[in-house]
């Protein structure tokens, strides 16, 4: 018997398959858990917005909850996450990227870029969290840098090397699997720099 | 022929009936239009959050959009509206009230009161917009005052007279039917007071 590559032989290791509908769910789960930890410890109030849907038909059965029987997904006009931290309005989008060498720009909707630029003009802390799943690497990219790149480029993706130059590593802890507020402190409040200077 | 009260005689005037499912929709529509005007004129970025639903079943028909065929309404854990204005995080809930003399406290979910208190601790501008539909009167009530009343009272409603003492009138204009940022300026930025003092 011949073991074809990827065949069903004895040696096939378990593969974590990410279906299209499940894509990005791990990062979302990790961020939600981190936000819950921030909320429980009263460090910040940041929530994921509900998925926008257009509700077409609702049944009101007697003695039970209203049931939506026809609805469609809407294109989001804003980002998924916003809230308040250290007195500042905070706004971001989060995306998982399965590719190793680049981040496809179609992952971020133009409406969302426009939204991030709008909130920045009004004084927000705005960024994108990108997780390169193959590298298990999670980065925070300030929205102004990403928007500038998107406006200037004619490419359909951002190379991974650009993220190495423009992104900041997001640490992980047991209670906050995506502990992005540590990175926010470093990038926007320069806590770390102050510590480095004083030592 | 006897015309019974509310009967179908000649003289019955058209009555604007507000069904349970439609209740509060006019205020929502007016606020959404105002937010769009604020966005178009780059005055603020404030959006209504999508209605939170738990999606149970989705059909993926070939060659057409994914169709949600089973979903249920979730109790919201936050308020409906948030965003940024003059560099500050802004957060509020909006409620229509059909009663003339009081506002039923069951209109506002305890989760929402907790949420408003959390964001206030972090430096947010937080309030509730209440419209008394019979009086066609729209008021902004700072969330700290409403939360204090709710915690102290054993009543199941807030009397209208309390709103007269603690609320601020929200003006209306053609482009912003609920021009609440004018009231926010007055209450939280004291623009009007400054003008009054300097005149």
pLDDT digits (tens, 9 = 90+) for A124-161: 999 999 999 999 999 999 999 999 999 999 999 999 99
Helical spans, DSSP H, in B41-190:
110-121, 143-152, 160-166, 180-184
Measured between alpha carbons, how far is residue B76 from residues B51, B65, B118, B190 in Å? 8, 27, 15, 32
Question: Which contiguous run of DSSP H or E holds residue A126?
Answer: strand A125-132
Residue A134 is classified by DSSP as T
Q: Does A89 touch chain B (CB under 8 A)?
A: yes
Chain B stretch 31-70, residues whose beta carbon is closer than 8 A to a beta carbon of chain A: 39, 42, 44-45, 47, 49-53, 55, 58, 65-70
Region B143-154: what's the mean pLDDT?
A: 96
Q: Give the torsion through C-alpha atoms of B77, B81, B86, B87, to 10 deg.
A: 30
* CB of B163 closer than 8 Å to CB of B130: yes
Helical spans, DSSP H, in chain B:
25-40, 110-121, 143-152, 160-166, 180-184, 191-198
Q: What is the pLDDT of residue A63?
A: 84
Flag whether pLDDT at B7 surpasses 70: no
How confident is residue A191, by pLDDT bands cut at 50, 70 and 90? low
Residue among B115, B123, B47 nearest B88 (CA)? B123
Residue A187 is classified by DSSP as I
Tell me if A87 and B123 make a contact (CB, 8 A cut-off): yes
ipTM attached to this prediction: 0.83
Tell me if A50 and B45 make a contact (CB, 8 A cut-off): no
Q: Give the torsion through C-alpha atoms of A65, A69, A75, A76, to 10 deg.
A: 0
User: How far is Cα B112 from Cα B151, in angstroms, rounded to an integer?
Assistant: 13
Query: Regarding beta strands A125-132 and A88-97, do their DSSP bridges make them parallel or antiparallel, or are they unpaired?
Result: parallel
- Is the model's pTM score more than 0.90? no
Residues constituting chain B: 199
Region B138-159: what's the mean pLDDT?
A: 96
* CB of A71 closer than 8 Å to CB of B73: no
* CB of B131 closer than 8 Å to CB of B93: no
Q: Which two tokens stand for residue A50?
A: 């509900």
Region A64-87: what's the mean pLDDT?
A: 95
| Unique residue bearing structure tokens 């300097």 | B198
CA distance A189 to chain B (A): 16
B84 closest CB neighbour out of A58, A77, A124 = A124
Give the largest CA-CA distance in chain A: 68
Q: What is the pLDDT of residue B10?
A: 43
Residue among A182, A187, A104 nearest A145 (CA)? A187
Spatial CB neighbours of B30, under 8 Å, sequence gap ≥ 6 = B172, B177, B178
User: How far is Cα A91 from Cα A122, in angstroms, rounded to an integer?
Assistant: 12
* CB of B31 closer than 8 Å to CB of B24: no
Chain centroid to CA B70: 28
Question: How many residue pairs from chains A and B have C-beta atoms closer than 8 A?
Answer: 110
Q: What is the pLDDT of residue A199?
A: 36
∠ at Cα A161 (A160, A165), nearest 5°? 120
- β-partners of residue A191 are none
User: How far is Cα B41 from Cα B38, in angstroms, rounded to an integer?
Assistant: 5
Region B88-94: what's the mean pLDDT?
A: 98
Q: Does A77 touch chain B (CB under 8 A)?
A: yes
Least confident of A4-8, A88-92, B135-139: A4-8
User: How far is Cα B129 from Cα B157, in angstroms, rounded to an integer?
Assistant: 16
CA distance B42 to chain A (A): 8
- Burial profile A100-114: b = 16 or more Cβ within 10 angstroms, e = fewer: eebbebebbbeebbe
Tell me if B51 and A49 make a contact (CB, 8 A cut-off): no
- β-partners of residue B127 are B92, B142
Residue B188 is classified by DSSP as I
pLDDT in tens, B99-148: 999 999 999 999 999 999 999 999 999 999 999 999 999 999 999 999 99
pLDDT in tens, B16-56: 444 444 445 699 999 999 999 999 999 999 999 999 999 99
Q: Which residues of chain A make contact with B40, given a CB cutoff of 8 A?
A: none
What is the number of other CB atoms lying within 10 angstroms of the CB of residue B73?
15
Q: What is the pLDDT of residue B111?
A: 93
Q: What is the pLDDT of residue B62?
A: 87
Least confident of A69-83, B3-17, B49-63, B157-171: B3-17
| Unique residue bearing structure tokens 């102290």 | B152
User: How far is Cα A24 from Cα A18, in angstroms, rounded to an integer?
Assistant: 9
User: How far is Cα A129 from Cα A146, in angstroms, rounded to an integer?
Assistant: 11
């Amino acid at each position: 018997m011949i073991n074809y590559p990827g065949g069903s032989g004895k040696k096939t290791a378990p593969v974590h398959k990410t279906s299209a509908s499940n894509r990005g769910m791990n990062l979302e789960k990790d961020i939600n858990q981190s936000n819950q930890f921030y909320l429980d410890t009263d460090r910040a109030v940041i929530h994921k917005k509900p998925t926008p849907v257009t509700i077409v038909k609702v049944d009101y059965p007697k003695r039970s909850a209203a049931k939506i029987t026809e609805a469609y997904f809407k294109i989001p006009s804003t980002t998924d996450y916003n809230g308040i931290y250290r007195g500042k309005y905070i706004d971001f989008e989060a995306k998982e990227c399965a590719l190793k060498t680049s981040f496809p720009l179609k992952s971020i909707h133009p409406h969302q870029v426009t939204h991030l630029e709008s909130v920045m003009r009004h004084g927000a802390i705005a960024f994108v969290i990108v997780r390169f799943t193959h590298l298990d690497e999670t980065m925070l990219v300030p929205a102004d840098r990403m928007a500038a790149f998107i406006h200037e480029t004619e490419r359909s993706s951002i190379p991974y090397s650009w993220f190495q130059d423009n992104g900041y590593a997001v640490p992980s802890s047991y209670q906050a699997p995506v502990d992005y507020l540590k990175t926010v402190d470093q990038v926007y409040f320069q806590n770390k720099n102050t510590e480095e200077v004083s030592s």
